[in-house]
Structure 1
Amino acid sequence: MVVIRLSRGGAKARPFYTIVAADKRARRDGNFIERLGFYNPNAKGGEEKLRIATDRLNYWLGVGATPSDTVARLVKEAKAAAPAA
């Protein structure tokens, strides 16, 4: 089963997450199938906080991938912010 989740990167106390489609049995930061975007919770000023490739996200959701709770929340935020931008 494929799950869409966050993979952590960045330094200690400075997290940076990549949104990936991965096999459910794979480790959190291990192998993944495809990179779909990123989330930077510490973005300041003009830095981009969230980027998601919505076409690829919709593809994976269409073939049965399940998003994690956090990814579902981020997608909802991105959709709400898109018309305002």
Structure 2
Amino acid sequence: MAAAEIDSIEKIAALVPHLLDISHKKIWVDYDQEADVLYINFKKPAHAEDSELTDDDVIVRYDKGQVVGMTFLHASKRRKSLE
């Protein structure tokens, strides 16, 4: 196995405790590299009736008052805060 693959596995494995702590048990993740936007959905289809833009460029999407997804704008810039 290549070093890059091992690094990816370790990074994903580090997320497991955090993923287990959230109330949503199904999660879909898509990254649009050209737009630098990371989409996280907790429901498919990802229909939302309302949304809110936070101060740190996260769009929180709601359906019937429940969070159904989040959109992280400028996603690659968030990587630097973890290093």
TM-score range, shorter chain: under 0.3
Provide the TM-score with structure 2 as the length reference: 0.27
Greater C-alpha radius of gyration: 2
When the two structures are superposed, what TM-score results if normalisation uses the length of structure 1? 0.27
- Higher RCO (Cα < 8 Å, 6 or more apart): 1
